[in-house]
Structure formats: C-alpha cells, structure tokens
Amino acid sequence: MPINQIDFDSVSEVDLRELVDAAVPEGIALEYKRDPYGARGQDKREFLKDMTSLANSEGGHLIIGIEEAEGVAERIVGIGDIDVDAEINRLESLLRDAVEPRALGVRMRAVQTADGVVVVIRVPRSLNPPHRVTSAGSNKFFVRNSGGVHEASVEELRALFTRTASIRQQIETFRQRRIEDIVEGRGPQQLPDEGRLVVHLVPLATFGANDQVHPEDALHLSQRFWPMAAGGNSPRFNIDGFINVRGGDECYGYTQVLRDGSVEATKAGIIRVWDDGRIVNAGALCSALFQVASTYFEGLASLGVVPPISVMISLQGVAGARLALPARRFDATPVQQFPGRDPLLMPEVVINEFQSAEDAMVSLRPALDALWNAAGFSTCTFYNEDGSWNQQPQ
C-alpha cells in the first residue's frame, strides 16, 4: 500500500521496507534523506526548503534514515545515535519559527527498525500557500515538480495565491450548500423550522478527501459527537458517513461526521416566544457551542484529524428575533432585532491546534462578537475583561 494511504500513526518498519524492496523512487510527493539535517545554517535552510516545497505543491512525505541511489530507495540506515525526541523537537521548532505563514498539519514520528530509527514526516498539501523560508536572511518560496525542488517563479507564485482563494471559496460554498440543503429538506435529517444553529468544523488539511475517516471509527466515538443539547441520541451510518441523531418524536438536531473529517452539528428550535416577542436564548446558544469545543475537537483528534480546523457558525431562521441574555431574558426589548438576511453567517475562525474548551471559546470570539454585533451589542458578553471565557454573561 502506498505510504500516503497508510494511517500515519500506523506506519511501521514493514511499510518502510516495502519502499526499499519495491525500489520506490522519489517523486513530487516523496523524498528520502540518509542523514539528519545538520545544525549549520545551510542545513537548516535545506530542511525548510524541502518541507515548504512539499506544502506548496502536493504535500507528501520526507523520510530521514533511508539511503537512496539515483533517487530510488536502496536501504534503511537509520539516523544514528542521537536523541530522536530532541531531533523531532528541533525540526518542529525550525518549521514553526522560520516559515511564513506557518505550515500547519505537519506530523513527525520515529519508527524503530532493525537498522535504526527512521523519522517519517507527513506534510499535507497546504490550503494557505505559498509558504516562505525566512531562516538566516533567506526570503524564498520553493515548489516541487518531477524534476525536483526549485525556487518558485512569478507564474507559480500567482497560481499558489489563486489556489488559496479558490480553497477558501470552496469551503464557503460548502457551508452555504449544506445550509441550503437543511432549509430545503434535503439534509441528512429533517429539522423543524423554528430557528436553527448550524456549526461546521472543516479540517483544512483533508477537506474534500473522502478516505480520511471511516464511518465505523466515528461510530465507536459517538459519545464525543453527541448532538448539541440532546438528552438522547441515535447513532447510525448514512450516505455521508456517520450521523448521531438527537432522540425524541421529532428531530431537533444531529451531528454528521463526513468522510473527510468535516463535522456538521445542528440544533433546531432555538427561537422561543416570550411576551409576544421572539428571542434566542444566548446562554443556551453558548452552552451548545461550548459542548462542540469540549467534545467534538476531542473526537476529531481521536479520529486522527489534525488542525487547522475551520470553524463556521451560522444561524438560520432568526430574522426579526432578539438575542436575550440570561439577565435580560424577561426584558429583551432594548436589544435590536436580528437583521432580515437569512442565514446569518458568522466569520470563519481557524483553530490552529486542539486546545481546552475554554481556550477554544476564546479563539471563537471573533465569530461571537459578530453575532452579538448583529443583535446590537458592541461585543459578546460572555468574556471577562481580560478576554477569558465566562459562561455567565457580563
């Protein structure tokens, strides 16, 4: 099996020996290095060039500890008698500090073989290219083709910038199409038309790659993808992958896990009538979002999905309603109505690493501030003065 189709955490000595036995050549998505990268400036730049060229092109693997002859894997030699954990930390630090913008989703691990330790690095195809090497005064962009690594031309840079815009548009189109399907009754589950909260989590490294998550694996983690604010659930497979449906005579929400690792979480019935007015309870809304931050990210991590994760919060069917804070629930009249546009699409927020639920809610602040702006507030009132998350509004 090609190494790019193997679960990264499962890459073993057997897989590495297959590269040698089958004489697999280097290519646009695969490169071998016999020896670890040195500590000299030119060695560091070589590593950064190899890594960014993979991210800027099709992604792929950099394998340190395999000797090649004329580009063909010849034998496993290992990386020698060095502290492997320290070496991986050094490489990760280089990648973090000397590449702009930061290359996200890169994974490194050591594989023990009979001939020594081999370091395998998996680099996803970047959705935010081009990445520039900034080490030791360097300021260059690199790409790869069948002939090897080279500095990007003006035309290649233009194509990379265009790719970034195209991917962002594809993700936004994905959100709008999914919401349209819900409204038109074509979604994975019929939902009452009483105001809906829709949250999309899209892993940027695997968006559109339909072989990343097996539905059965998601089923085993169904508790991590519990429908928002649900008292019960009904997990099952469907055409999109795995779905966890909220229990009850009528479905008021579900969590759909797609095969590329994307998640669509819904909560219907967010509109309440109070004193002849329509309100959205801000406390209940934030409690549902906190659930997403506290368990869904854990579920994605367990499925092997890596950040960055694009988080998109949308409200549908709330035009003319007001946002009612717990302290103001019985007096929402001073708050302006949500605008007539439908749906309300909050700005995308990108989560660059899995974090605690409280820290994730801090990262989501731009989206929540925008939602509170739509209701007439200057900022979201669920944050302390220092910017930390507070489930009780200020």
Q: What is the pLDDT of residues 296-307, one digit of tens each?
A: 999 999 998 888
Summarize the confidence of residues 223-233 as an average pLDDT.
Answer: 91
CA 280 to chain CA mean position, Å: 28
| CB 195 within 8 Å of CB 269 | yes
> Residue 206 corresponds to which tokens in the numbers above?
């695997």
Q: With contact defined as beta carbons under 8 Å apart, do 29 and 61 qualify?
A: yes
**What is the per-residue pLDDT for 394?**
46
Say what the pLDDT of residue 392 is: 66
Give the mean pLDDT of 156-177: 85
CA dist 295 and 256 (Å) reads 14
Provide the pairing of β-strand 148-151 with 233-238: unpaired
For residues 31 and 50, the answer to whether their CB atoms sit within 8 Å is yes
Which residue pairs from 107-115 have beta carbons closer than 8 angstroms and sit at least 24 positions apart in sequence? 107/8, 107/306, 109/8, 109/9, 109/11, 110/84, 110/85, 111/11, 111/12, 111/13, 111/16, 112/13, 113/13, 113/16, 113/17, 113/65, 113/76, 113/78, 114/13, 115/75, 115/76, 115/77, 115/78
Separation in Å, CA 186 to CA 252, 317, 339: 15, 16, 26
pLDDT at 12 over 80: yes
Contact 202, 174 (CB under 8 A): yes
- Average confidence score pLDDT of the chain: 89
Tokens of 240: 């999109």
Angle (CA) 288 284 319, round 5°:
100
**What is the DSSP code string of 301-317?**
HHTT--S-EEEEEEEES
For residue range 284-330, list pLDDT tens digits in order. Answer: 999 999 988 889 999 999 998 888 889 999 999 999 999 988 765 44
Which pair of structure tokens corresponds to residue 321? 């309603």
Q: If pLDDT is split at 50, 70 and 90, which confidence band does 204 have?
A: confident
Tens digits of residue pLDDT in 56-96 = 998 899 999 999 999 999 999 999 889 999 999 999 999 99
Residue 206 has pLDDT above 60, yes or no: yes
Q: Domains (ranges, CATH) in the chain?
A: 3-152 (3.30.950.30), 169-374 (no CATH)
Q: Which of 83, 81, 82, 69 is nearest to 20 (CA)?
A: 69
Are the CB atoms for 285 and 328 separated by under 8 Å?
no
Give the chain's radius of gyration (CA, Å). Answer: 24
314 closest CA partner among 273, 265, 272: 265
- What's the per-residue H, E or C state across 70-103? CCEEEEECCCCCCCHHHHHHHHHHHHHHCEECCC
